[in-house]
Structure 1
Amino acid sequence: MSGEVRRISSGGPYEDAIGYSRAVALPNGLVLVSGCTGIEAGRLVAGGPYEQARAALATALDALARLGLTAADVVRTRMYVVHGGDTAEVGRAHADVFGEVRPAATLVLVAGLIDPEMSVEIEVEAYRAPEVGA
């Protein structure tokens, strides 16, 4: 990582409308990925909370990959779930994606998301120590 803040976009429908970056990489090696939902190709994925969580995590991991990081670099996640009955499926998707990485994680029930059809939104933080001399 260079000595400057890097911001990337995924082209998601809300990024321009709301004015945010999909991910921000800091010079200290920390990468913050904005909340990701189950939107693929501009549409909510078919299926339930498991499929939405997998799609959200795929968006987050794609953003990390564009910055040279992987799931192994993820140190923290935050999952915002609309329905309490969906927590097991969202948790299963999280476990399936991260396996032995086991980042620090928080799962919070919320009243709703920007689209009432969305079940989950997930934030990701990753870290990779800056290279010496970078």
Structure 2
Amino acid sequence: MALVKRVSSGGKWEGLFGYSQAVAVGPLVMTSACAAAVDGRPSMIDDPGAQAKEAFRSALDALVRAGAGIGDVVRSRMYIVNPEHAEAVGLAHGELFGVVRPTATVVVVNCLTHPEQLVAVELEAFRGWRE
């Protein structure tokens, strides 16, 4: 039976909605969607690149707490509310993951959970076969 490690940010939504910020099971670590927020409110309003960087920092922090690192990231997903934000968000991704080069998907969505959220990101990592 695989050991499962669940990582929480301590935010109220995790308990209310019944999810973890990250889950590690065997060699895999996955994050829930992360956004740029302070005390549950969007931050860096009107700056999709800055929101992406902060969202990736939050997701990477969760990965580290679950036992993975940036070099273990194999897949990223970026959810944006405006296709014009793709370049700024992609450049933020490139700054962080240019050497790692995980697979990457950008999805344009109608909206996120708060109207000032422009970007949400998810990461998946593979820690190799560890005993």
What TM-score do the two structures reach when normalised by structure 1? 0.90
Q: Is the 8 A contact 1:37 1:53 kept in 2?
A: yes
| Deviation (angstroms), 1:41 | 4.1
Cα distance in 2 between the residues matched to 1:18 and 1:61: 22
Paired residue type of 2:38:
E
Structure 1 portions without partners, runs of 5+: none
Q: What's the counterpart of residue 84 of structure 1?
A: 83
- Equivalent pair of 1:40/1:55 in contact (CA under 8 Å): no
Equivalences for residues 1-134 of structure 1 within 5 A: 3-27=2-26, 29-47=27-45, 48-131=47-130, 134=131
The answer as to whether partners of 2:77 and 2:123 remain within 8 angstroms in 1 is: yes
Offset from partner CA, 1:79-131 (integer Å, 9 cap, x none): 11001111111101111111210100100100000101100111100001132
Question: Are the aligned partners of 2:21 and 2:31 in contact in 1 as well (CA < 8 Å)?
Answer: yes
Alpha-carbon distance in structure 1 between the residues aligned to 2:43 and 2:76? 21
Distance 1:117 1:49 in 2: 10
**Matched pairs, number:** 130
Percent of counterpart pairs with the same letter? Answer: 45
Structure 2: which 5+ residue stretches go unaligned?
A: none
CA separation in 2, counterparts of 1:88 and 1:18? Answer: 32
What TM-score do the two structures reach when normalised by structure 2?
0.92
